[in-house]
Structure 1
Amino acid sequence: MITLLKQVMPKSLLGRSLMIIITPLILLQIIAAGIFFESHWDKVTYRLARGVAGDVSSIIKLLKHFSKEREGFFWVQNHAAGTLGLIIELEPGKFVPTRAQTGNNNLERMLIRALHDILDAPFKIDNETLKRDVLIDVQFVNNTLRIKVPRKRLFSSTTYVFVLWMVGSSLILFVVAMIFMRNQVKPIRRLADAADDFGKGRSVKEFKLEGANEVRQAGAAFVAMRDRILRQISQRTDMLTGVSHDLRTPLTRMRLQLEMMGDLEGITDLQKDVGEMERMLDGYLAFARGEGNEKEKNVNLLDSVTNIAEQFKRQGKSIEILIDDNFCVKLAPNAFRRAITNLIENASRFAENIYVCARKRSGGAEILIDDDGPGIPVAERAKVFRPFYRIEQSRNPGTGGVGLGMAIARDFVQGHGGEIKILDSPRGGAQIKIVLPT
C-alpha cells in the first residue's frame, strides 16, 4: 500500500504542495456535500412533498364536499389547475392497488412518506412515465383520482446552486493556490539550476536571492560555497602555476647543460630522466587545473573522436571508430579531448585493438571504449579512478603513466553531470562506458 502511494504521489515540490492544499479542500467539500444531501436536501424535499400532499388532500376534500353537485367536479378541476398547478382526472370504476410502495429514489420516498402522513386512502406514484410530471393515483370512493403534479414542485434548484458554488469555489482556490505555489517554487528551481550548472563547471555569475526566507538562506549558502570553492581552486591553480614555473626553470637549465656536455657516458639516461620529470609535471598540472575556465560548446562527437583516433593511428595503434549518428553534445572541447585521449592511451598500453563507439540516447550521449587486452579486475575498477593509483605498483614509466589519466577522465565526466564506469568488454578486455547528458 505504501509503495503504491509513493508511485501515485507527485514527485515535484509544486505537485506535492498543491496536493497538500487540495486534499483538505476536497475532503471539506465531500463532508459539506454529505451533510447537505443527508440533512438539508432531505428536509427540503420532504417539505415540498408535504406541500403537494396537502394540495392533494385539499382537492379530495373539495371533491367530497361538491360530490352531490353536477358542476362541482369541473369547478374543483379548474381551481386545481389554475391555483395549484395540478391537473386532475377521474377514472370511474378503477381501483388503486393497496400494496405499499417503498420508492426507488429520494423524491419518491419523500413523497410517499408525505402522502402517508396526510392521506388515509390508498395511493400509487408513477415517477417514470412522464418526464416533466409525476402521476399520483388516489382511491376516491369507487373511482381512481389521477393527479398530475409538475416535477418542478418537488425539486429545489438550490442543489444546482450548491454544486456550482462548491465546484466554482474549489476551482478558484485551486487556481489561486497554483499561481501562488508556482511563484514560491521558482526560486527553488533557479537555485537547483544554478547548483547544477556550477557542478558541471559552467559559469554562474549572477544569482539573485529571492523567495521565502528559507530559500534565501539556502541561496546565500550556495553563493558563499561557490565563492569558497572558486577561491580555493584559484589559489590551488596559482600555487601550481608558480611551482610549475619554479620547477621548469631548473629542468630547462639541466636539459641545456646535458645538451652541451656532448656524448659523455650516462648523458642519454639523464636526458630521459629529465624528460620523464617534465611529463610527470605536465600530468600533475593537467590534473590540478581540471577544466579551468573553459567554456562549453557544441562538440561534434564524430569529428572530435576521429581526430583523436588519427593521432594514435599515426603512432601505429589499431583503433576502429563506430559512430553511426553525426550529432553534437554540449561540453568543454579541450577537457573532452584530454579525457578521451587518456582513456585510449591507457587501453593502448595493454591491448592491440581498440574500439570507440558513440551513440545518441534519450537525454544524452553514450561513449564506449573497448579493447581486447587483459581487462581490469573487478576489485580494481573503483580504485583505478583514484589519483596516482596504478594496478602495476612498480611505478615503472615503461609500464604506465603517473596514474592520473583515469582520474582526469572521471573528473571531466562527473563535472558534466555524467557517469563513467568499467565493464567487461565483449572484445575480451575492458569496456569504459561514459554517459553524458545533453
Structure 2
Amino acid sequence: MIFRKFGRRIERPLRRFLPRSLFGRSLLIVFVPLFVTQLVAFQLFYGNYLSLVSRRLADSVVAELAMTVRLVARFPDERDWILDQARREQQLVVTYGEMSDAKIQRTRNVLGPMYDDLQDAVRRVFHTSCRIDWHATSDNVRFELPYRGGLLSVEVPRKRLVTGPVWFFLAWAGGSAIILFGIAGLFIRNQVRVIRGISHAAEQFGIGRDDGPIHPRGAREVRKAAVAFNRMQARVNRFVEQRTIVLAGVSHDLRTPLTRLRLSLAMIPNAGVIEAAALRPDIADMVSDIAEMEALVNSYLTFARGEGAEAPVETDLSALLRRIAADTERAGGRITHIDIPEGIFAVVRPDALRRALANIAENARTHGGSMSMTLNRRETEIFICVDDDGDGIPPHLREEVFQLFSRNRATVSGSGLGLTIARDIMRAHGGEITLLDSPQGGLRVLVRLPTPD
C-alpha cells in the first residue's frame, strides 16, 4: 500500500511531461532503454577501458623519459648517444633549453582522459606540472616541463598516448543509436497507423458512416483487433438489417389474420337476437387468428430479444442436448439414434443455445420422419449433428433458408425465423451452422462451437 501511494505521487507530476499519444509513448519506451544502454556503454569505454589504457600509456612514456634524463645526469659525457638512442628506440625527442625557449604558450586540451593522465604522470615522477601541445605536429605531441633550472622539451608520437580517436567511438555510438531509434520509429509509426485506422473506423461506424471492413495488417495482435472489429461491424450491420426486416415483416404477416378478424366482425349482425351456436364457428376462427398472431409476435420477440442479456456460464452440453431430445420426442418426434457422451462442458448462454438447438430439432421433427442426434468434441471444437430422413434441401437453396421469413421447406407454416435465430445465436457464440447431406437421406445440420482448452 505504501509503495502504491508513493508510485501515485510520482506518477501524477510525470504525466505533465509524458507524451499523450500512443506514438509518443511508444517512442519514449524505445528511447529510454536505448539512451541508458548508450550511457552504460560510454561509461564502460570512457570510464574504464579508455582511462585504464590512457594511464598506462602515459606512465610508460613518462617512465622512459625519466630513465633517459637520469641516464644523461649519470653519464653526461654520453648525453648525445643517450638522447639518440631514446629517439631511435623509444621515439622520444628530448631537448634541453632555457626557460625562455618555451614554445608552448597556451595548452590545448583533447577529447578524452589522455591530457589529464599525462599531466598526472609528469606530476608523480617529476613533481611539477607541464605544458602540453597536443597538436604540435600532425603526428607528434609536445610537452614542456621545468627541470633543474632549465626547460625540458619532449616530442612523442601521438600513437604512443592515444589508443584511437574518441570522437569515432562517440560518432559510432550516437550514429547507431539514431539509426536504431529511427528504424524503431518507422515500425512504431506503422503499428500506430493501423491502430489509428481502427479507431477512426470505430468512430465513423459509431456515427452511422460505414466505410467497409478494415484491411488487417501490422502485428498479430493488431490484426486480431482489426478482424474482431470487422466481425463486430458485420454482426451489427446484420443485426440492424434483420431487425429492420422483422419490423417490415410484422406488418406483412399480421395483415392477413387482422383482415380475417375484421371480416369476421363485419359479418356479425348488428341487430336482432343472435344465437350463440350460430356464432361459435366465427368465434373459433377468430380465436385461431388470434393464436396465429400471438405465435407470430412471440417468434418476432424471440428473434428481436436475441441472447445479449444472458450471461455465459459453464454448461453441461450433454444434459442440455438430452433434454432437447426428450422434449422433441414428447412433441411427437421419432429419434432413432442418440450418441451423446457424458461430461462435455462449454461456456455458453444456456437459454439461447437451448432455443437454437430446439429450433433445429423442431425443423428436423417437422420435415423428417425420423431423426438422430450426435455430440462429440475434437480438440478445441464441439460438434452437434442433427440428421433427418426427410426430403432434404438442394445445395443451391441451403444458404437461402437462413434468410429471414424463408420457407423453402414450405409444406409447414411458420414465421421463417427458426434457422435465422439459430444461426444468429451460434455466431454470437463464435460458432457456425452448416447444412449438409445426411447419411439417412435427408438433411444434416452441423453445429460447430469453439471452446478454449
TM-score in terms of structure 1 length: 0.45
* Larger relative contact order (CA 8 Å, sep ≥ 6): 1
TM-score in terms of structure 2 length: 0.44
